[in-house]
Amino acid sequence: MRKKAVLVVGAGGLGAPAIIALAASGRFTLGLADPERVELSNLARQIIYGTRQVGQFKVEAAARYARETLGFRDVRPMNIALNAANAPELVAQYDFVIDATDDPAVKFLINDVCLAMGRPFCYGGVLGFRGQAMTIVGGETACLRCLFEFPPDQDEVATCREAGIVGSVAGLVGFVQAKEALYCLRGLRPRLAGKLFAYDGAGRRAIRILPVQRREGCACASACSASEDVRAGA
């Protein structure tokens, strides 16, 4: 039997803290997928990189950090962008996927491929002082398309990027995502399966956990109807 494995898609604001939390926590294979290189503007929130890593591929710098600073050996860096052609084969090699990308199209791709391949994953998002995370278990919980019916259009995405990301909020959400992966690897149910973790650093209630219902008519119902039939009969 192969070793358990976690795939982190995105080695930036969410991925960096997730990698630290994962690499400190046990024996499994850690896959990292990100096509970007480290930029100077990343350093304030992507704390596994320093000025010496500027210009290097993020996944290679992150893998070196995991090996040399954290002593975590079994890391697979892949400087690739996840797309519809490569995602199914890649996702099939992992037991849990962390969505640590800032690209909504890739988030929806992760959602669809993980549902199709029967892999749980944890969605994460940050904007300003707000952050969110939710774990999606196909056939059981709401999916990303239940939560957001369509990906936002490009103008909206650009506006979000201008609003910026507070490093410590990304740190919190990335850590929460790593914990979800670790629950799953240990055979436990992820705490945020079907529940939205919502952090608002500027709000009166900083942290809320909100159950998310499956949306009637969502594509996830048909993708996972077989496993539902089994449960209904049990």
Q: Contact residues for Zn ion (CB under 5 A)? A: 143, 145-146, 218, 220
Strand order in the sheet with 96-99: 75-78, 29-33, 5-9, 96-99, 121-127, 130-136, 195-200, 207-211
Q: Residue 143 or 172: which CB sits closer to Zn ion?
A: 143
Residue type, 156: E
| Shortest spacing between CB 211 and Zn ion, in angstroms | 14
Nearer to Zn ion, 5 or 116 (CB): 116
Provide the minimum distance between the beta carbon of 215 and Zn ion in the complex, in angstroms, as a whole number: 6
Residue 144 or 172 having the CB closest to Zn ion: 144
Contacts of 113 (CB under 8 A, 6+ apart): 84, 87, 88, 91, 119
Residue number, 131 or 139, with CB nearest to Zn ion: 139
Residue 41 one-letter amino acid: S
Q: What is the smallest separation between the CB atom of 132 and Zn ion, expressed in angstroms? A: 16
From residue 170, how far is each of 7, 17, 116, 125 by CA, in Å? 18, 8, 28, 8
Cβ distance to Zn ion smaller for residue 198 or 221: 221
- Shortest gap between Cβ of 222 and Zn ion (angstroms)? 10
Min CB(116)–Zn ion separation in Å: 13
Question: Of 70 and 218, which has the nearer Cβ to Zn ion?
Answer: 218
For the bound state, the minimum distance from the C-beta of residue 76 to Zn ion, rounded and expressed in Å, comes to 30
Beta partners for residue 49, in sequence order? none
Question: Which of residues 9 and 143 has its CB atom nearest to Zn ion in the complex?
Answer: 143
Q: Beta partners for 36?
A: none
Question: How far apart, in whole angstroms, are the C-alpha atoms of residue 47 and residue 14?
Answer: 10
- Least distance from Zn ion to the Cβ atom of residue 220, Å: 3
User: 222: which 2 tokens?
Assistant: 């048909």
Question: What six digits make up the tokens of 61?
Answer: 């710098």
Q: Give 111-145 as a DSSP string.
A: HHHHHHHT--EEEEEEEBTEEEEEEE-TTTS--HH
What is the b/e burial string over 62-87, where b = at least 16 CB atoms within 10 angstroms of the residue's CB? Answer: bbebbeeebebeebebbbeebeeeeb
